[in-house]
Structure 1
Amino acid sequence: MQDENLFSDFFQPGFVPHELPQVAELLRARTYIDALIALFRGGEDEVFVRLIVLREIGARADAPRWSPQDLQAHFAYINQVKLDTVLKRLRDYGLLVWDSDEQMYGMAEAGRVALSSLGTMLQFAEGDAELGYLTSQVAAGQSLGQVSNEVLLNLLARLNELYADFEAALESQSEFQIRAAREKLEKVWQWVEKGTDVIRAVLTDETTDQRVYQVAQSIALAQARMLRLTSVFHRRLSELASQRVHLGQSGLSTTNVADWLRRQTQASLAELGRDLILYHPEPHFVVSDILLDIAEFEICERERPDNSVSDMPQSAAAQEVGAVEAERLLAAEALYDELNQLAQLGAGSDLPDAVLAPTYNETAYRLSLLSLLGDAEAALEKSVVADIVKLPLRLEAQTELYEPDHPEVASISAGRLHPL
């Protein structure tokens, strides 16, 4: 029975809170919400003891009913007075049922629901728990044909938050932030893949509600954007690696030095700078607001590993360009010269004619370069690959295969290069 005075202190006079759809939906599940309130109200130690007792009682599947003697023997490690208090609270709030005829305790429906929810949450205690938990909820609802619009909206919001964080890392141009963001993307990627299968099933179900269908479409678009980020992170880190400055023949780079400095204490940094800086630097070209934002991030928000190696790496000679890298550079330059002539003439070419080379490896490499034509991210690089990407040519690939008369290439995709 609904309590008319339940929200009397929170809403304006004359307003009926029970007429709100949000309130009505919560009141329908009031039994289960009251059970969770009973579990989690109070101090942290009280809550943990209640959860321990309830989980142990619910875990005995072969004999689900407990006598008071069974409980005393099983929970001998808990103070007897405290155990009685916990059992009374669980019984009073409908998580446990007491059979006075048989003098036995049993799990109530609300207790089973609370344990099930808690068990699902505990499975995702590591990694990106929120994304994994939300994806599991969507998958469970889809398998039962009851996908919750609220859970879908929460999943969409989390995907958008992650994408915004990844974009911020890319815009920062910080190698450390980009690496941390890429590691986080790899951790959550398994849930994105599982969510893709679930959303595909929701979109192909003809009985899906229109609101759920629209949110599922938005989730599919968000997942597609996340998929694109994998290549963007790899390309941006490659750009940063090409800009890395090596310190003479020591084998060290500016990244090694920056990483080592980040792991030093304030005292050691002060000792390093002693007698080196004779006056306080005043960089007037730095905007104070931006400087403050960066300092706040470095001091307060950056996640640092608990166990980190702060020793400088051993010095070693800088690596020379290997034969494979040199061969690829020559192959890319040769391909650029050929394609540049086509672009200047405004002529097209069949894909096999533009790609085929004396060896299979060179042919495969040339084909991979052609697949980057028109890629806006790759065009930002300063290399011969970027020059190829910016050529006014468009690749039109076909599903058919072409079988050339070649000693190492048995077949290749048919297609054509068109001038823009």
Structure 2
Amino acid sequence: MANAAAAAEAPGSGQEHQDTLQAHFQPNVSADEIEQVYHLKRAQPLLQVFTALFHGGFDGVLVRLLVLRELASDTATSAFSRADINTRLAYLLPESLETVLMRLRSNQLLAWDAQQAVYRVTPMARNVLSAIDGLLALGQNEDEAEMGFLLSQVAGAQAVGGVTVEQLQHLLGRLVELTEEFADAIASGSEFRLRASQAKWHMACDWVEKGSEILRAITSDENADSATHKAAQAIGRAQSALLNMQGMFSRALNQIERQRVHLGQSGLSTTDIKRWLLQHEDLASLADGAIDQPVVPLFITPAEMIDVAETELLSDRVSGTAPGGLPAGQDAPTTINDTPAMQKELDDWLARLSDFAALGNFPSIAEEAPKSIPIQDSLLPATFAVASYRASLLPLLGDASEASLQGATAELARLPVTFTPSDEMIELPDLHVAAMSLATLSLSLDPQGDKTDE
């Protein structure tokens, strides 16, 4: 009787649906002329299945999905008698179970076999449950980029050779949305929003790597049409734009790092304070106990204001008529301008090298002094700091650009001494320096011969 009544009402309801649909369009536009309307009407049976499942309140939707999932999960048998269903779903009220079974049966989610008096889960119901389960499984994972389901749809369609342009366009639209979202986060200048978007960007890049192989398979498929190739190429360009945002994130975070304000020597910054404040849901509660008593405003009348102003005026006049004149002279404090320790060390080091360049008697004065000596004999004995400072000046020897200047370092650069380093190390029996690079200091030869011989 229910089927007969539905069949009797079908023509009228279809005409009413057509009239209702046309009411949403402009008077001079026919709904049937819209391409997307045609595709959606062609999928009307499937869309009615979703309507049957998800129409109404959330509690009713939950019960329908519960019943359908319980029946579809039983792989031991494909047919269920009413007694089996009552036993399996005994935790539901009989009236509620009867209502749900009638709704699922009338919308082709359950098929009734009258000869055997059993229910069967239809293939369409299994397809719908598979899509819902896939979406629920991906929703349980930490996929903040929300690309997993779209990419899984493209991958599954590609595996069976049925990828559509619409599926690729959904994935492309999500990539464009992510790129715009990340660009807005970078433009905002907010450190917290930038770091949250950067974490989301890393997750999106993981999905991009997984989808690159699928896109290569689509673009290399000779059987794919031109629209599919164009959509796949557009996805590739969108992925490239997404991957290129790493440098933009780094520059924005570095700029924020340079502008960060630190509170004295405490080590705390404005970022730490903001992070601490965000951990409190009620910021007003932080003021509890901070003020012992409310602020009491003080009010004064014009008479008190005149008295205060008169006092201030007279005090200025008294200070102006006070005996003036220049203060008595005082001797300036005597200060000793000591030569900086580093400058004195530079002068001593320049004197030693000049003595070597003039007489060839460095580090000891003797006629048989060598024209080249190991570097450790020239730098030591000295403390580690002094030896390091002397070693840092050695590359200036023979530097033409430094020699053209004025000062102690310029004199050092003009000395006829050559510094010859090497990559080897030599251990030293010294209290301050354990090892040193193997190098030598030697006298430079002028065009006339050895300067020492002269």
Q: TM-score, normalised by structure 2?
A: 0.57
2:106 corresponds to 1:92: yes
CA distance in 1, matches of 2:144, 2:167: 16
Q: Give the conservation status (yes or no) of the 8 Å contact 2:185–2:193.
A: yes
SS in 2 for 1:182: helix
Q: Offset at 1:107?
A: 0.8
* 2:215 aligned partner, one-letter code: I
2:37 corresponds to 1:23: yes
Higher-RCO chain (CA-CA 8 Å, sequence separation at least 6): 1
Task: Mark the CA change 1:69 to 1:144 in structure 2 (over 3 Å): closer, same or farther.
Answer: same
CA distance in 2, matches of 1:273, 1:154: 54
**How many residues get paired?**
280
2:284 aligned residue (267, 274, 280): 267
- 1:7 is matched with which residue? 18
Q: Offset at 1:272?
A: 9.5
* 1:224 aligned partner, one-letter code: S
Pairwise mapping of residues 330-345 of structure 1 onto structure 2 (< 5 A)?
Answer: none
* 1:113 aligned partner, one-letter code: N
Q: Offset at 1:274?
A: 6.5
Give a deviation string over 1:333-384, Cα, whole Å, max 9, x none: x9xxxxxxxxxxxxxxxxxxxxxx979xxxxxxxxxxxxxxxxxxxxxxxxx
Q: What is the aligned-residue RMSD (CA, Å)?
A: 2.8
2:135 corresponds to 1:121: yes
Q: Give the conservation status (yes or no) of the 8 Å contact 1:132–1:191.
A: yes
Structure 2 unmatched ranges of 5 or more: 1-9, 296-394, 396-421, 425-454
1:229 aligned residue (240, 245, 249): 245
- 1:65 is matched with which residue? 79
Q: Offset at 1:270?
A: 5.1
CA distance in 1, matches of 2:263, 2:291: 23
- 1:35 is matched with which residue? 49
CA distance in 2, matches of 1:215, 1:358: 58
Pairwise mapping of residues 101-180 of structure 1 onto structure 2 (< 5 A)?
Answer: 101-126=115-140, 127-128=143-144, 130-180=146-196
Give a deviation string over 1:385-419, Cα, whole Å, max 9, x none: xxxxxxxxxxxxxxxxxxxxxxxxxxxxxxxxxxx
Q: Give the conservation status (yes or no) of the 8 Å contact 2:158–2:214.
A: yes
Q: Offset at 1:172?
A: 1.5
Q: Offset at 1:65?
A: 1.4
CA distance in 1, matches of 2:183, 2:59: 41
2:223 corresponds to 1:240: no
Structure 1 unmatched ranges of 5 or more: 279-333, 335-356, 360-420
Give a deviation string over 1:306-326, Cα, whole Å, max 9, x none: xxxxxxxxxxxxxxxxxxxxx
Q: Offset at 1:15?
A: 5.5
2:210 corresponds to 1:194: yes
* 2:122 aligned partner, one-letter code: A
Q: Offset at 1:242?
A: 3.7
Q: Offset at 1:143?
A: 1.4
1:182 aligned residue (183, 198, 203): 198
CA distance in 2, matches of 1:358, 1:33: 78
CA distance in 2, matches of 1:228, 1:272: 51
Q: Give the conservation status (yes or no) of the 8 Å contact 1:175–1:237.
A: yes
CA distance in 2, matches of 1:358, 1:76: 85
Q: Which has more radius of gyration?
A: 2
CA distance in 1, matches of 2:279, 2:138: 30
Q: Give the conservation status (yes or no) of the 8 Å contact 1:32–1:113.
A: no
CA distance in 1, matches of 2:252, 2:34: 49
Give a deviation string over 1:280-325, Cα, whole Å, max 9, x none: xxxxxxxxxxxxxxxxxxxxxxxxxxxxxxxxxxxxxxxxxxxxxx
Q: Offset at 1:5?
A: 4.8
1:50 aligned residue (59, 64, 72): 64
* 1:139 aligned partner, one-letter code: A
1:217 aligned residue (230, 233, 236): 233
CA distance in 1, matches of 2:257, 2:27: 65
Q: Offset at 1:186?
A: 2.3
Q: Give the conservation status (yes or no) of the 8 Å contact 1:31–1:110.
A: no
Q: TM-score, normalised by structure 1?
A: 0.61
